[in-house]
Each structure stands twice: as C-alpha cells, then as structure tokens.
C-alpha cells in the first residue's frame, strides 16, 4: 500500500521567513469562515472521525500548494465523496443544530480512555521510536523515526490515531511525551524536542 502524507514537514529544508500576524485576524477571505463552519458541522454528523479527516487532508497531492482553508474544503469534498453521504436517500446520522453549538463545543471530544493494562514504560526511561515508515496515517513525524529519547510524561490511554484513521476502531494505547536531545535529531542542535507518542511507536532502548 502506497500511502503518502504531504503534511509531515518537521525539519524539512525551508528558507522562507515567517510573517507574524495580529491577534484579531481570524479569517482572511470571505469564504473561509463558511468552510470552517461547514467542516465543523459536517464533522459533528459523524460520518468520519478526526483521524480520518487528518488523513484525508494530508494525502491531498496538492497539499503544499493549497491555502489552509482550501485544504479543509478539498478534504471535506473528499470525505463526502468517500463516505457516499451525498448519494440519493442517504440520511445524516446526526445534525448539529444552532441551539446545540455552544454545548457541543464546550463538551469537546475527549480522546482519553480507561486503561486496560499497565503502561510499559516509566518516566525517565529511554525509548527508541519506530524506524520504519508505515503505509497508513501515523502521528510519528519522519524526523523522529528511529531516535532515542526519554519518557517525559505519561498522558494516559488515548485513542490510537493510526487505527482510528483507518476505520479499524479506537484501539486505545498508552500515550507518552518523549523528549529528544536536539543533537539526536540534528547535528549541533542545542535545543530539545518533545513529541507525543503512542506505545506502539516505542521500544525500550
């Protein structure tokens, strides 16, 4: 299976400067807020989950050429097409009504789940991340593959993005914060970098 993410940008060669932006600039084109609202409302319908949505976005072949909300729009169209939502007669499982918006946003969608087994790793323990790329959506960035870091924190058990994105169920796993010395990732780097990594990404080092 040939899965390509165009969104895994950490550490890539990049010379462009960053342009700061005032705090009150939320949207920049008149159509952007509508896309934002459409995507949130359609996510609430329940035809796909957060991780499927990320997967739909990161695999858009023109990802790097599109603006942020163009990515959202293209992925929404892709999700609609994939899910068959617009086929005649299909009914939405749920609809987000205006009166429910505040409550739904305030509630959020926690990704933590009850543990069913003890965590494999302890805080302070050295771990090595998986080195091989995988043929599906994953949240282990390429720059952090096959690297040794220390368990910094144990976040608890969370829905496993790799499984959830493929529609294979939540398969909850222990989630850790892992800290790398910058020099483990890049020559002469003096800073440190932390990622959040699910247990299946890690082995004892």
Partner 1 sequence: MSDKKPHSHSHEKTVNPLEQRVRDLEAVLTQKGFIEPAAIDALIDTYESKIGPRNGALVVARAWMDADFRRRLMRDATAAIATLGFTGRQGEHMVAVENTPDLHNLVVCTLCSCYPWAVLGLPPTWYKSAPYRSRAVKDPRGVLHDFGVHLPQSTRIRVWDSTAEVRYLVIPRRPANSEHMDEEQLAALVTRDSMIGVGLPRPVPP
User: Binding to partner 1 (CB under 8 A): which residues in 143-202?
Assistant: 143-144, 153, 155, 158-159, 161, 175, 177, 179, 185-186, 189-198
* CA 141 distance to own-chain centroid: 11
Residue 4 makes contact with partner 1 by CB under 8 A: no
Out of 62, 81, 112, 123, the residue judged to bind partner 1 by CB under 8 A = 112
Nearest distance, CB of residue 1 and partner 1, angstroms: 19
Out of 1, 2, 25, 132, the residue judged to bind partner 1 by CB under 8 A = 25
**Residues of 95-127 as b/e, b for ≥16 C-beta within 10 angstroms?**
ebeeeeeeeeeeeeeebeeeeeeebebeeeeeb
Residue 33 makes contact with partner 1 by CB under 8 A: yes
Q: Are 59 and 6 in contact (CB under 8 A)?
A: yes
Residue 61 makes contact with partner 1 by CB under 8 A: no
Total Cβ atoms within 10 A of residue 71:
21
Nearest distance, CB of residue 167 and partner 1, angstroms: 18
Nearer to partner 1, 12 or 117 (CB): 12
Residue 17 makes contact with partner 1 by CB under 8 A: yes
Nearest distance, CB of residue 130 and partner 1, angstroms: 13
Nearest distance, CB of residue 151 and partner 1, angstroms: 14
Nearest distance, CB of residue 158 and partner 1, angstroms: 6
Nearer to partner 1, 130 or 155 (CB): 155
Write out the DSSP string of 23-41: TT---SSTTHHHHHHHHHH
Residue 107 makes contact with partner 1 by CB under 8 A: yes
Locate the DSSP E strands across the chain: 112-113, 126-129, 148-158, 173-181, 192-198, 202-204
Write out the DSSP string of 89-121: T---S----GGGHHHHHHH----EE--SS--S-
Helix axes 68-83, 32-45, angle to 10 degrees: 30
Nearer to partner 1, 50 or 125 (CB): 50
């Amino acid at each position: 299976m040939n899965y390509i993410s165009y969104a895994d940008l950490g550490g890539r060669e990049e010379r462009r400067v960053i342009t700061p932006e005032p705090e009150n600039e939320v949207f920049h084109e008149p159509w952007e807020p509508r896309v934002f609202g459409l995507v949130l409302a359609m996510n609430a319908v329940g035809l796909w989950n957060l991780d499927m949505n990320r997967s739909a976005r990161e695999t858009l072949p023109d990802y790097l050429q599109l603006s942020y909300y163009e990515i959202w729009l293209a992925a929404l169209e892709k999700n609609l097409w994939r899910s068959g939502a617009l086929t005649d007669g299909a009914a939405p499982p749920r609809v987000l009504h205006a009166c429910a918006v505040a409550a739904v946003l305030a509630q959020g969608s926690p990704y933590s789940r009850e543990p069913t087994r003890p965590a494999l790793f302890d805080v302070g323990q050295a771990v090595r991340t998986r080195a091989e790329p995988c043929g599906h959506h994953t949240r282990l960035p390429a720059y952090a593959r096959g690297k040794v870091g220390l368990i910094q924190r144990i976040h608890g058990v969370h829905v496993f993005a790799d499984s959830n994105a493929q529609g294979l169920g939540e398969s909850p796993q222990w989630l850790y914060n892992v800290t790398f010395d910058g020099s483990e990732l890049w020559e002469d780097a003096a800073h440190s970098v932390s990622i959040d990594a699910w247990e299946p990404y890690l082995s004892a080092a």
